[in-house]
Amino acid sequence: MAHRWGMVVDLDRCTGCEACVTACHAENNIPTVGAAEAARGRAMHWIRVERYWEGEFPEARLTFRPVLCQQCDNAPCEAVCPTYASHQTDEGLNAQVYNRCIGTRYCANACMYNVRFFNFFHPQWEKPLQLQLNPDVSLREAGVMEKCTFCVQRIKAAKSEARAEERELVDGALQPACAQACPAGALVFGDLNDPESRVARLSESPRGSKLLEEYGAEPKITYLQRQGWHEPDAQ
Amino acid sequence: MDRRRFLKVTAITGTSAALASCGHPENQIIRFVPEEELTPGIAVWKPSVCPLCSAGCGVIARVMDGDAEVFRNGQPGVTRMGLARKLEGDPAHAVSQGRLCARGQAALQVTYHPDRITTPLRRTGERGNGAFQEVSWDEALGELVSRIDELVGKGQASAIAFLGRPRRGQRQALVGEFLRALGAPAPVSFALFDDGVARHANELSFGRYQLPTLDLARTRYLINFGADFLGTWNSPVAQGVAYGRMRQGQPGVRAKFVQVEPRVSQTGASADEWVVVRPGTEGVVALGLAHVIMREGLRPATAAGRAGTLVDGWAGGLPQFTPQEVERRAGVTAERLERLAKEFVTYGPSLAVIGGAALAHANGVVQALAVNALNALVGSVDAPGGISFMPTEAPPARPARSLRDLVSASPQLLLVDEANPVFATPSAARVGEALRNIPFIASFGSFIDDTSVLADLILPDHSFLESWTESSPESGAMEAVSMTAPPAMRPLYATRAMPDVLLEVSRRLSRPLDPPLPWQTFEEVLQAPPAAAPAAPARAASASPVTWADAQFDGDAATYPFHLLPYASQALHDGSLAHLPWLQELPDPMTTAMWCSWVEINAHTARQLGIALGDMVEVSSAHGSVRAPAVISPGIGPEAVAMPVGQGHETFTRYASGRGANPIRVLAPVEEPATGTLAWSATRVRLARVGGPDGSLVLFAGATRERPDHHGRG
Amino acid sequence: MAQPSRWGTPSVFTTAHRSAGEAFRAFFDMRPDEVDQPVAFSHQLHLEKELVCTDCHEGVERGPVAGLPSVNTCLICHSQIATDRPIIQEITAMQEKGVDLAWRRVYGYTREAHVRFEHAPHIRAGVDCSTCHGDMKQQTVARRVVEMDMAFCVNCHKAKQASNDCLTCHF
Amino acid sequence: MNRTRNNPLADDLVRPLFHTSVWFYGAVLVLATVVLAGAAAWGYQLWYGIGVAGINWPVFWGFYLTNFVFWIGISHAGTLISAILRLVNARWRRPVTRCAEVITVFALMIGAMFPIIHLGRPWLAFWLAPYPSAREIWPNFRSPLVWDFFAINTYLTGSLMFLLLPMIPDFALVRDRSTGWRRRIYGALALGWQGTTKQWHRLESGMQIMAIAIIPVAVSVHTIVSFDFSMATVPMWHSTIFGPYFVAGAIFSGIAALIVAMAALRKLLHLEAYLHPVHFENLGKLLLLMSLLWAYFVFAERLTVWYGNEHSEMAVFWATQRGEYAPLYWAMVVCNFVIPFPILALRQLRTIAGTVVASFAVLIGMWLERFLIIVPSLAHKPLPYTWGDYAPQPVEIIIMVATFAAMILLYMLFSKFVPIISIWEMKVGNQPHPPVVTEAEDELAGLWRARP
Amino acid sequence: MKAVYALYTDPDAAQLAVDALRAEGVAERDIVVMSSEPFEEYEFSHRDKATWLHWIAGGGGLLGMFAGYLLTSTTQQLWPLVTSGMPIVSTWPNTIIVFEMTMLGAILATVIALFVTASLPSRLSQLYDNAVTQGYILVGVDGPSDELAARLDRALASVEGGQVKSIA
């Protein structure tokens, strides 16, 4: 059976440390845009840690929520793309084909999660910072939309390696950079079609919900809600 | 017909393209024969150690071939070489366990930083103006050796000083050996957030000059007094891993996490309960908890053992720390304290942690002792779910000298290894001025920062990926961890590892060292390490109890109504990482700010002073003032303002120079008396709006864009 | 753009084209079929001597990139063979000086194509080198003889029932 | 009837083609400079990237798409109005039709440029067109942008034909009155028109069919432009009212543009004899109707959003109602309703000057409306963390100004080369045979009543 | 004789001239009437009323509809890419393309049919007079025999207010 890649984000584990953010930058050749451009709202973070305050001092409470491309089944970004740069693969990935992208930015508007980022200018690396670039990942040029790919290069490498060695993929061995870096283990990645996989079991959790579920985009990322503390019954 | 064929038909041939592409300098540059066997496009994982903080996480570097611009024999060219492309936690390392924090991930950029020093430099202009000229290693070493020779010849070897970052392991031991053989005083370690207070208190309470390992995974009740253990304190990766297990490690079991601090830190954000206290009264709360526990007879005073006897009045049940008294002093209601105390003792294993701002007071040691005693009282020392001390072959030793000792000794020659005291000390401490008066300074760091800009000679070190590395963390794992790793990649530039430079210097000295150092290279040092430096005599475990002292603050409350709470930036830590663009552009988890400094202000305060988001405010202490844009936060009390540390470098590469403001500079030079560490939370300030937004506040999202009525949607 | 680097190259690495002409040529995929190589290496001659591709293009079975040989590779044989030829002497001299051959690529895709081609899976699938590179026995200095446009790849993938999803090649 | 009946008319209307004042050249020079500045700005943007515009994350669409919708709206001036009036055979339409149709064609051309200017990689815009290529990939017909491509193409083709076909007899007229190079050019343009009864009849019935065909196309174009927004689940975009709302808005702004253009022509080309106050009055009534319709749509849209009280939509709602976009929002209401309504409703004010003032207000108001549909919604998408804002940059402003200059320039040049009032249709209008109704009687009836 | 014609300013006169030509036995299709405006009120302008233009437009529309359907459905099946969980051949959105193609087909068919049936573009025929665009109505016959020409000449002259001309 084909894979269906998905993720579970455990908000109870997330500490907001942003290890995932830098890991993603390093893995996916995401450019830093500099202070001036960042001030104009052009910073690119395929994964970000949203924080929401509730209440006021001294009862203020904070929740962190890592948000990345939700890899929706009914992705609103896909249909609106005039050139098929955005479409669904048979493994459930919400593909972004850079060479096909003409930069209408319609997908980014259609995406209610705002997880798509646009190369307003050509990315620049002041030499020799370009030596840090991952040769397995494309460098996106100006005018091209980009977003989280679930580290498709890792998926492809792992599948290719498994095929060469004539074995099945092992659950947990293949991880996107963010999940791999996360110290608290808040991000769990895997194959939703494998009922034994950790991600499939966790996504059944009663704590689970989808972000902006009411829009019906059917994301493949399940958020496990943060829990409160209750006094244990027995000592 | 495709585009290509179309053009062929129109008879535009490729000749012009070929001619044009010859014009690119890349195609004219010399290509050197690769020095290593590489399979193109295949990644190799090589172990290394993250050098950015003292946690000592083992990392693995993904090395792949690539074309690097290099110099060979003074000739510019390009060569194919193995290049580290990504860092990840080493799954086999007991501290990092395959995980890595944001800063560790960004450590990659240290190697490839465009402003890295590539060859030795000699100062040419005025000290501090940043003018250097490139010199050969031979020349540079010759100059350093002649300076040392001169001092040794005059019998002034004791005027040679070494200032480095707190490091452990063979590299540090080698420095000690070198200095001892030279007849110079012991090396001095300096870092802003160096936890000397916590170590000192642990030595008093438990006989270990060491930071504890927190067994969070098995804790069921955690009270944290200000330690940013999920962000920047101690061993954040290991603690993060354990925290994940504490939260959702076992089905149906979830520990309670109470954070006691005056401002919500990134760690505090994850707490189930935030207890606001006045700065410097964390220990009062701890002692209040102990009082309730003992009063209720839940634990006997003797359970705390030595840690308890160190606290004055412990045996009598701490009568002066009744809940009412705690409420008066710390601002925590008596009912809440009673409840917390009962919960803490009931739902064990429980654990209390103190660190960070709570210890950065003049009464830091007694605060730490209070928490240590509380831990001991509930049996959380060396117990599952409590604190323990990692058994290490070379236990951490109390430093023999401090920065203050170094400065007051007016050395003639200073060797600086990546420490940046000019940035990280209050201007009132006048460390920069003192350094300027040292006749000769040599720096080993890879970058020109606020301190090394004063150097006369810069002898650039390899990056950690290019040199042998070692990890001997003092905490983070239950078992002893020690590793060494060979270089992950060849050096990009004409740099040399600092230990190798010291060994080379020792060989070149006109009067040979006695005894001579027995190694030729750092690699040999790692294979046959020097004997551990003798620890400073363990402080006589004085059983004399320590009396509670209230935290003292610089500046009177009438003129300076606010406590200034500097805190370690999640991205830039103590500022030593401000040169890495990935970290500069990492949104702060609490404010989403990037590339800037800011002042966190309570909404009520902001309203009173007429300050809106992004307005420029001036924070003034009795010792100076800084300006930064305001961020209004519900996570800080009305009597405090907070500022992240990390920005405000005068000189520190193109990415950090002249960016933001440095709150450390305006602090009062108050020290914790027992350890001499800076009490960086002990300064009062006043606040004034000095202008509208100047555009320096760069937010990724959030604060400007959020309305109070839309919180927590989802 | 900032000052050139110490290598005389631009100090900034960017995906931008440096001139309108370069952008134009990239857009129309205008590349010479033949390029000037540092030495006139004859594939024909070497293949006739029963060398095989993987002798010099070592990475082709293992990784994404076939790899272009360095002078070290040349001199594995030529430290003994044909050492009297001027071209071999030149190469020997280069190795002594530590200077490598700056081969220029003949095949490959423009950056805008975002094609992430991997050799190894194709070799494993039994695709012959000549399918994409032509019969090298007929070529002296390698030249581009196969037009690798998208139809070329897609047709082969169709014929061999390999995946034709966009993410197969473009990511 | 005598032979002189028609000639003064033709003389009048052809005169601008043969006599050009210095002022004209001066104006062309100024406008061309502005247009060239816009072209230079676009070149700058092409070279450095779309980032020179003010768009950002998350406001990915800004001025360019505002102008796109605005100009496509303006394009409804012409063809739609003139087609409806042609179908209902409103007498007073005759001097108006060509003015209107020209607006359509030029506005469409300018409008269609904006989505291309706005692309990140405009050199690949041809991928929107369905054509067989080696890639075997075709456009995604589910994308509203592809619908736009088809709709605008159809509309542009139709409008162009609708404009050009009735120009042929007038070209023949100019051909017969000119000599030398002019005769050759107009001779070619006239396609050998002779005016046989068969040609006239085919032309008339062809125009009849075109008028029938162009109305649904025009409606579809602006509906599809509205689909660009309403297909996306962006707060206050995802609304079924958008189709008719946009069409009404388009006609609204189109009529306003027509009134302004007619007033300018009347003044500059001295066409007082042909463009009477009654034309302005009738168009003013239409404008009044559309203003009321617009107000109705806005009220319906706002009421349902407010009543529904959906979280993310309310964020946009309040941002426009009393937040950072409120000044623009209320300016829009003033321009689209508060100013035009009294002017157009009161007969005394419904003069040429009055309607022109009202039309200018409407043009500004409708531009603001497009801006307020696009930007506040994108700035307030469902996750509050991602809220943003937008400020236009010089490049966007220069290009926008240049397109206005281009519109005026094209209009001026057109009126210099083609009789701006259809001469033969004027002649038909002057034929004595139909029962003559006075202009006063004709006022409302003439709008909708077919000639017997 | 190449042609015989007369120029009238009054359409009533032109109508009389047409009737006169008919009376002379000139076939309906040989009578040429040119004017600078259509005269729908007069019988002479209705001689070519019968036309297939509406049907051709409809046919063009059908053709466009069919082309639109083929274009959308076949290209979507050619390389079946899933977007947004929609079916490969998505009827609703395709309807929009089909509609636009239908209208485009109808418009193009109309224009082409108009041009073909109205013989546009063409060179000016010999029987033409610049006076037509000055408001005269030309009534004449192209290429009559000499004998017929003389008769027509008279017939045209018999209508008041005309200037009879001939082209040799």
Q: Tens digits of per-residue pLDDT, D53-84?
A: 999 999 999 999 999 999 999 998 777 778 88
What phi and psi, each to the nearest 5 degrees, are found at residue C127?
Answer: -75, 130
Q: Using an 8 Å Cβ cutoff, are A17 and B571 in contact? A: no
Residue B534 has pLDDT above 80, yes or no: no
Number of C-alpha atoms within 13 angstroms, CB side, residue E105? 20
Domain ranges within chain A, ordered by starting residue: 5-224
- Mean pLDDT along residues E153-160: 85
Chain C CA closest to residue A163: C121
* For testing contact with chain D, the best of E100, E108, E112, E125 (most D CBs within 10 A): E100
Instruction: Check residue B528 and give its pLDDT.
Output: 82
Domain boundary among B527, B546, B581: B527
Instruction: Check residue D437 and give its pLDDT.
Output: 41
Average pLDDT, chain D: 89
| Beta carbons of B32 and C98 less than 8 Å apart | yes
Here the CATH number for the domain that contains residue B689 is 2.40.40.20
Instruction: Check residue B24 and give its pLDDT.
Output: 60
Average pLDDT, chain E: 87
Q: How far apart are CA A230 and CA D354, in angstroms?
A: 72
- Greater model confidence, D252 or A1: D252
The answer to whether position D452 is within a domain reads no
What phi and psi, each to the nearest 5 degrees, are found at residue B141?
Answer: -65, -40
- Which region among B6-15, B412-421, D30-39, E78-87 has the lowest average model confidence (pLDDT)? B6-15
Instruction: Check residue E146 and give its pLDDT.
Output: 82
With cut-offs at 50, 70 and 90, classify the pLDDT of residue C108: confident
With cut-offs at 50, 70 and 90, classify the pLDDT of residue E2: confident
Average pLDDT, chain B: 90
Q: Do E108 and E147 share a structural domain?
A: no
Chain A CA closest to residue C4: A127
Nearest to B599 by CA among B615, B621, B578, B587: B615
Chain D CB within 8 Å of residue E72 CB: yes
| Beta carbons of C170 and A129 less than 8 Å apart | no
| Beta carbons of A74 and E85 less than 8 Å apart | yes
Instruction: Check residue B581 and give its pLDDT.
Output: 96
The answer to whether position B473 is within a domain reads no
Instruction: Check residue B702 and give its pLDDT.
Output: 59
Instruction: Check residue D412 and give its pLDDT.
Output: 92
Q: What does C86-137 look like in DSSP terms, one character per residue?
A: HHHHHHHHHHHHTBPP----SS---GGG-B---HHHHHHTT--HHHHH--GG
Owning domain of residue B242: 196-388
Using an 8 Å CB-CB cutoff, list chain B residues near C147: 4-5
Q: Do E39 and E82 share a structural domain?
A: no
| Beta carbons of A141 and C12 less than 8 Å apart | no
Residue B569 has pLDDT above 60, yes or no: yes
Nearest to E129 by CA among D194, C171, D416, D29: D194
The answer to whether position B182 is within a domain reads yes
Chain A CA closest to residue D379: A109
Residue D447 has pLDDT above 50, yes or no: no
Neighbours of chain D (3+ CB pairs under 8 A): A, B, C, E
* Partner residue opposite B2 with nearest CB, options D133, D315, D389: D133
The alpha carbon of residue B249 is apart from the nearest alpha carbon of chain A, in Å, by 9
Q: Do B628 and B578 share a structural domain?
A: yes
- Mean pLDDT along residues B30-52: 91
Q: How far apart are CA B224 and CA A75, in angstroms?
A: 43
Instruction: Check residue A1 and give its pLDDT.
Output: 63
Q: What percent of chain B has pLDDT over 70?
A: 93
Using an 8 Å CB-CB cutoff, list chain C residues near A153: 116, 171
Instruction: Check residue C115 and give its pLDDT.
Output: 93
With cut-offs at 50, 70 and 90, classify the pLDDT of residue E42: confident
Residue D8 has pLDDT above 80, yes or no: no
Instruction: Check residue D243 and give its pLDDT.
Output: 94
Instruction: Check residue D426 and give its pLDDT.
Output: 84
Domain ranges within chain C, ordered by starting residue: 31-68+103-169
| Beta carbons of A104 and D50 less than 8 Å apart | no
Report the relative pairing of strands C12-14 and A124-126 from DSSP bridges. antiparallel
- Mean pLDDT along residues C54-67: 89
Residue D3 has pLDDT above 50, yes or no: no
Chain A CB within 8 Å of residue E38 CB: no
Q: What does A44-110 look like in DSSP terms, one character per residue?
A: --SSEEEEEEES-TTS-EEEEEEE-----TT-HHHHH-TTSSEEE-TTS-EEE-GGG-----HHHHH
Q: Using an 8 Å Cβ cutoff, are D95 and D421 in contact? A: yes
The alpha carbon of residue C152 is apart from the nearest alpha carbon of chain D, in Å, by 9
Using an 8 Å CB-CB cutoff, list chain E residues near D213: 57, 103, 106-107, 110
Q: Is D440 left (phi over 0), alpha (psi -120 to 50) or beta?
A: alpha
Considering the four listed CATH numbers 1.20.1250.20, 3.40.640.10, 3.30.200.20, 3.30.70.20, the one that applies to the domain covering A5-224 is 3.30.70.20
Chain A CB within 8 Å of residue C118 CB: yes
The alpha carbon of residue B221 is apart from the nearest alpha carbon of chain C, in Å, by 46
pLDDT tens-digit map of D138-157: 999 999 999 999 999 999 99
Instruction: Check residue B503 and give its pLDDT.
Output: 95
B497 contacts: CB under 8 Å, gap ≥ 6: B461, B462, B467, B468, B522
Chain B CA closest to residue D385: B702
Instruction: Check residue B19 and give its pLDDT.
Output: 38
The alpha carbon of residue B583 is apart from the nearest alpha carbon of chain C, in Å, by 20
| Beta carbons of C149 and D134 less than 8 Å apart | yes
Number of domain units in chain B: 4
* Partner residue opposite D388 with nearest CB, options B2, B705, B713: B705
With cut-offs at 50, 70 and 90, classify the pLDDT of residue B542: low
The answer to whether position D2 is within a domain reads no
Q: Using an 8 Å Cβ cutoff, are B497 and B461 in contact? A: yes
pLDDT tens-digit map of D308-349: 998 889 999 999 999 889 999 999 999 999 999 999 999 999
The answer to whether position D230 is within a domain reads yes
- Mean pLDDT along residues E54-64: 94
Residue A193 has pLDDT above 70, yes or no: yes
pLDDT tens-digit map of A111-124: 999 999 999 999 99
With cut-offs at 50, 70 and 90, classify the pLDDT of residue B15: very low
Chain E CB within 8 Å of residue D388 CB: no
- Mean pLDDT along residues D267-296: 91
Alpha helices (runs of H) in B112-195, residue ranges in sequence order: 137-153, 170-182
Neighbours of chain C (3+ CB pairs under 8 A): A, B, D
Domain boundary among B90, B111, B132: B111
The answer to whether position B246 is within a domain reads yes
Using an 8 Å CB-CB cutoff, list chain D residues near C150: 134-136
Here the CATH number for the domain that contains residue B501 is 3.40.50.740
Q: What percent of chain D has pLDDT over 90?
A: 68
Chain C CB within 8 Å of residue B4 CB: yes
| Beta carbons of E34 and D194 less than 8 Å apart | yes
With cut-offs at 50, 70 and 90, classify the pLDDT of residue B531: low
Residue A213 has pLDDT above 80, yes or no: yes
Instruction: Check residue B9 and give its pLDDT.
Output: 40
The alpha carbon of residue D305 is apart from the nearest alpha carbon of chain A, in Å, by 17
Owning domain of residue E105: 54-117
With cut-offs at 50, 70 and 90, classify the pLDDT of residue B93: very high
Instruction: Check residue B1 and give its pLDDT.
Output: 41
Q: Do B130 and B96 share a structural domain?
A: no
| Beta carbons of C11 and A98 less than 8 Å apart | no
| Beta carbons of A123 and C5 less than 8 Å apart | no
Q: Do B53 and B134 share a structural domain?
A: no
- Mean pLDDT along residues B624-643: 94
- Mean pLDDT along residues E105-123: 90
Restricting to A residues 137-176, those with a Cβ less than 8 Å away from any Cβ of B are: none
Owning domain of residue D425: 14-123+138-430
Q: Using an 8 Å Cβ cutoff, are E75 and D133 in contact? A: no
Question: Is the peptide bond prior to B349 cis by the omega test (within 30 degrees of 0)?
Answer: yes
- Which region among B534-543, B578-587, D91-100, E124-133 has the lowest average model confidence (pLDDT)? B534-543
Q: Do B148 and B225 share a structural domain?
A: no
With cut-offs at 50, 70 and 90, classify the pLDDT of residue B6: very low
Q: How far apart are CA D103 and CA D116, in angstroms?
A: 20
Instruction: Check residue A231 and give its pLDDT.
Output: 82
Residue B75 has pLDDT above 90, yes or no: no
Q: How far apart are CA B98 and CA B297, in angstroms?
A: 44
Q: Bridge partners of B69?
A: B78
Residue A235 has pLDDT above 50, yes or no: no
Q: What does E33-49 look like in DSSP terms, one character per residue?
A: EE-SS--TTSGGGGTT-
Instruction: Check residue B16 and give its pLDDT.
Output: 37
Q: Do B235 and B362 share a structural domain?
A: yes
Chain D CA closest to residue A119: D51
The alpha carbon of residue C150 is apart from the nearest alpha carbon of chain D, in Å, by 6
Q: Do B456 and B355 share a structural domain?
A: no
With cut-offs at 50, 70 and 90, classify the pLDDT of residue D374: very high
Interface A-D: count of C-beta contacts within 8 A: 142
| Beta carbons of A183 and B602 less than 8 Å apart | no
Instruction: Check residue D221 and give its pLDDT.
Output: 94
Q: Do B183 and B202 share a structural domain?
A: no
With cut-offs at 50, 70 and 90, classify the pLDDT of residue D218: very high
Using an 8 Å CB-CB cutoff, list chain D residues near B2: 133-134
Here the CATH number for the domain that contains residue E149 is 3.30.70
Number of domain units in chain E: 2
- Which region among B339-353, B679-693, C28-42 has the lowest average model confidence (pLDDT)? C28-42
Residue B674 has pLDDT above 70, yes or no: yes
- Mean pLDDT along residues A82-96: 94
The answer to whether position B540 is within a domain reads no
- Mean pLDDT along residues B184-190: 93
pLDDT tens-digit map of B398-434: 888 899 999 999 999 999 999 999 999 999 999 999 9
| Beta carbons of C70 and B27 less than 8 Å apart | no
Chain D CA closest to residue C147: D134
| Beta carbons of C13 and A149 less than 8 Å apart | no
